[in-house]
Amino acid sequence: MADLRSNFIGIKSPNPFWLASAPPTDKEVNVRRAFQAGWGGVVWKTLGSEGPPVVNVNGPRYGVVYGADRRVLGINNIELITDRPLEVNLREIKSVKRDYPDRALIISLMVPCDEESWKAILRQIEDTGADGVELNFGCPHGMAERGMGSAVGQVPEYIEMVTRWVKQHSRMPCIVKLTPNITDVRKPAEAARRGGADAVSLINTVNSITSVDLDLFSPQPTIDGKGSHGGYCGPAVKPIALNMVAEIARNPATAGLPISGIGGITTWRDAAEFMALGAGNVQVCTAAMTYGFKVVQEMISGLREYLDDKDITMSDLIGRAVPNVTDWQYLNLNYTTKAVIDQDACIKCGRCYAACEDTSHQAIAMEPGRVFRVREDECVACNLCLDVCPVENCITMRELAIGEIDQRTGQPVRPYANWTTHPNNPMSRSAAE
Amino acid sequence: MTNSQLTPGVVPGRLPAEAYAKNFSDHAPPLAPHEARVAADRCYFCHDAPCVTACPTSIDIPLFIRQIATGTPDAAAKTIFHQNILGGICARVCPTENLCEGFCVRETAEGKPVQIGALQRYATDHLMAKDDHPFRRGPATGKRVAVVGAGPAGLSAAHRLAAKGHEVTIFDARPKPGGLNEYGIASYKAVEGFAAREVDWLMGIGGITLRPGMALGRDVTLAGLQADFDAVFLGMGLQGVNALQTEGEERGNVDDAVDFIRDLRQAGDLSALPVGRDVVVIGGGMTAVDAAVQAKLLGAQNVAIVYRRDQSRMSASRHEQDHATAHGVRIICNAAPLRVIGNGAVREIEFMFTDDSLTDTGERFRLPCDQLLRAIGQRLDGAPDALTLTRGKIAVTGPGRSSIPGIWAGGDCASGGDDLTVTAVAEGRDAAEDIHAQLMEAAHG
């Protein structure tokens, strides 16, 4: 049976599934329940400086985007960092860690952007027994207005500076949590590495308004008739997160920098995808907030079964897809496929036809008796028919062998060649004289 | 009264008083809003959807379901009513398994179609609950149209004609409008006076005058209508009931199923309605099922439907058949009545077993029976002589044109189409469009 024990930048946990710093990790009672349910680690909800704690709104903190049957696809929140006194959190962290020495317990931190503040908080958490710190440079709402959270994460120089302070004033492993609310995630990741970070974690939440109340004309969640942008998370943000993880994993300047993957991880499969793109472990929040802590049990059994079926170890999985993430210009322009409709599996809904005829390449013919056939002379292999088909595997893409005639172009399929050498490319390396 | 299910003969009050309300409550309760959203989400929004093709009124089903899914059930209802102004009753009585739902691609994929009928009811109920008719009349044309029959065909035609700006008068032989919706379907399909409420709502368009108690051939004549109106639409349905032509059929407690259903629908107190202990219904259609199930719900001890052919040939849908058997009705097939036996009233019936070509196999059996209900079809009685008939119905071509110019016909009394509510609605609507086109052409000629 596959071994799921994880060692992420020296922090050991019985499995790679951590709860992200968020509402579920704000209190001892929650974290104990999480560990009882089987979570490998917890990043304690962000602590701020000593003194009067932050306050939260007393109206709704969350907005939601639903799929069918009220399935939660995304949640945004306007909750700030912990609103409980620092000493209470420190006492509880110590107590939990004492009782769960085998689990990872990381403390998320967010204090003003000056060395003294960071030095002070690091000193205060020193004897909690925590395994590491995560620097919250990601939260896009509320705290950013006060020069913290994503306000730091959006300026690579600040990331580097603060990370350096942390490494200077603490021996703890340091994870830098990145915001996705930037144009190029590689820059903050590079800054974190320059500052000495042991790892980055990403993504934090995405700036968002989940919906607008069309009676009140106010963004949701609505607080007394007004709304503010919040941080979006859950399954809806996973594609954004996967891309950012991959960008850091394949960037020569950050290659090898450990990554803790975050962003809409709901099932073992999501976790495996993050790991394949280079995440050494994963952090989860929305899935737990939606279904409770028990979801980790499916993640554990699922990942184990997958690794067993593949007969690979977890370290074999981590980063395995990274070499296959490339730039568009290196994609094989001679690779040719054609859609094939399995007439026995087809239920004749005609969605492929509507999609292709209305919005794509008019490459599906509708014949008497609602028989839908691909016209290979028009099919550009865009895949849209397959994507909208409600029957799994009814439409597949057939790869044309090299030498086979592509009915659309009338030309035989040729071996690998990409844009860099394409005759239409003005920058083509083998451009004609 | 101390009758029970075991009391012999045709007697009232077989059940405890409280049982009637429960037995005759809505047999398919409406979807709650969340249920409707979940059901709506299953629709694939098919291209050129097979369900639409299968609907005699061609309701844009994917569109109305998407409108429900996006939280606009009233817009969904307008989509339905635009094609089928009686979409409310059709949602309740359509044999959807043979129509829209039978052709749903989800039926192909997983044997569970989108609940189109239930969703149609959800949308139409939602809009009808508002005290506002969704359509407005066009400018008055000054044309007058007579409609004979206030059933589905006549109401559909009348509404469409009124919407076009014509003045419509509906003549109906019965005291209440609605036709079979009011008199001819099981009460648990249209509870709380739905048929009457629907007519009231439909009349909200304005421009329709209802003249109940006016039968064609008795109170008005076709020639008179032709003289008084610019066009005539005939939608009077089928009044006659086919006889069994079986020995002893004249004995007591041998009734027509349509009368049994009518009396039940109009009864103020179901516990006062007599029903046999051993009820036999002869026939294989919706009327047979509606009569049999309701006899059971009234407290009959044993109810059997006897059909002369194989069960697969029953015109009642499979869903209806299952509904009957689930209520304890026994369905006996390949059997035809030979003799109604009894001294005054029916006591038992002798049947022969037949093969599928209705040939006597020589095998006999008897069923105890104290109430026999005939449900072997209805026929058009008293059609005006001037009209050409085909196979016992008013011959029509195209959109309901009869053999006489200026006279249209639709619904069960007219040739063509199945004898279904939804088909009658489509025929009434299409005839109205044709009448309108002809009247306007004449006016602008």
Read off φ and ψ for residue B291, nearest 5 degrees.
-70, -45
Average pLDDT over residues B65-74: 96
The class that CATH gives domain A6-324 is alpha beta
Residue B230 has pLDDT above 50, yes or no: yes
- 3-state helix, strand, coil split of chain B in percent (to 5) is 40, 20, 40
pTM given for the model:
0.91
Q: Which residue of A70, A370, A391 is in closest CB contact with B109?
A: A391
Average pLDDT over residues B15-19: 95
The contact set of B with A (CB < 8 A) is 34, 37-38, 41, 44-50, 105-106, 108-109
Q: What is the mean pLDDT of chain B?
A: 95
Average pLDDT over residues B166-177: 97
**A350 part of contact set with chain B, CB < 8 Å:** yes
Catalytic (active-site) positions of A: 139
Locate the chain A residue with the closest alpha carbon to B49: A349
Q: Can you give the length of chain B in residues? A: 445
The pLDDT of residue A430 = 59
Average pLDDT over residues B82-110: 96
The domains of chain B are located at: 33-128, 144-239+380-444, 241-378
The pLDDT of residue A141 = 84
Between chain A and chain B, the number of residue pairs with CB atoms below 8 A apart is 36
Average pLDDT over residues A10-21: 98
Locate the chain A residue with the closest alpha carbon to B111: A347
**A370 part of contact set with chain B, CB < 8 Å:** yes
Residue B371 has pLDDT above 50, yes or no: yes
Average pLDDT over residues B330-334: 97
Average pLDDT over residues B328-341: 97
Average pLDDT over residues A320-328: 98
Residue B182 has pLDDT above 80, yes or no: yes
The pLDDT of residue A139 = 85
Q: How confident is the model at residue B131 (pLDDT cuts 50, 70, 90)?
A: confident
Pairing, β B144-148 against β A62-66: unpaired
Residue A232 has pLDDT above 50, yes or no: yes
Instruction: Quick: pLDDT tens for A271-314.
Output: 999 999 999 999 999 999 999 999 999 999 999 999 999 999 99
- As given in the structure block, the two tokens for residue B46 are 């098919």
Asked if the bond preceding A203 is cis, omega within 30° of 0, the reply is yes
Helix count and strand count (H, E) for chain B: 17, 17
Residue A431 has pLDDT above 50, yes or no: no
Q: How confident is the model at residue A433 (pLDDT cuts 50, 70, 90)?
A: very low
Question: How far apart are the C-alpha atoms of B435 and B414, rounded to whole Å?
Answer: 16
Q: What is the DSSP letter of A77?
A: E
Locate the chain A residue with the closest alpha carbon to B106: A347
The pLDDT of residue B227 = 97
The pLDDT of residue A274 = 98
Q: What is the dihedral of CA B136, B140, B141, B146, to 10 degrees?
A: 70
The pLDDT of residue A412 = 98
Instruction: Quick: pLDDT tens for B397-411.
Output: 999 999 999 999 999
Tokens 């399935």 found at: A71
Question: How far apart are the C-alpha atoms of B408 and B428, rounded to whole Å?
Answer: 9
- B241-378 belongs to which homologous superfamily? FAD/NAD(P)-binding domain (3.50.50.60)
Q: Which residue of B34, B37, B105 is in closest CB contact with A348?
A: B105
Task: Examine domains B33-128 and B241-378 and report if their fold is the same.
Answer: no
Asked if the bond preceding A112 is cis, omega within 30° of 0, the reply is no
The pLDDT of residue A149 = 87
CATH fold of the domain at B33-128:
Fumarate Reductase Iron-sulfur Protein; Chain B, domain 2 (1.10.1060)
The pLDDT of residue B443 = 80
Residue B1 has pLDDT above 60, yes or no: no
Q: Which residue of A69, A347, A350 is in closest CB contact with B41?
A: A69
Question: Any residues with CB less than 8 A from the CB of A308 and at least 6 apart, and which?
Answer: A1, A2
In contact, A302 and A232? CB cutoff 8 Å: no
Tokens 């000493």 found at: A87
The domains of chain A are located at: 6-324, 328-421
The ipTM is 0.86
Give how far A227 is from chain B: nearest CA, Å.
23
What's the CATH architecture for A328-421? 2-Layer Sandwich (3.30)
A interface test, pick of B31, B47, B65 with most A CB neighbours within 10 Å: B47
Q: What's the CATH number of domain B144-239+380-444, 2.60.120.560, 3.40.50.970, 3.90.1150.10, 3.50.50.60? A: 3.50.50.60
Instruction: Quick: pLDDT tens for B135-170.
Output: 999 999 999 999 999 999 999 999 999 999 999 999
CA-based Rg of chain A, rounded to a whole angstrom? 25
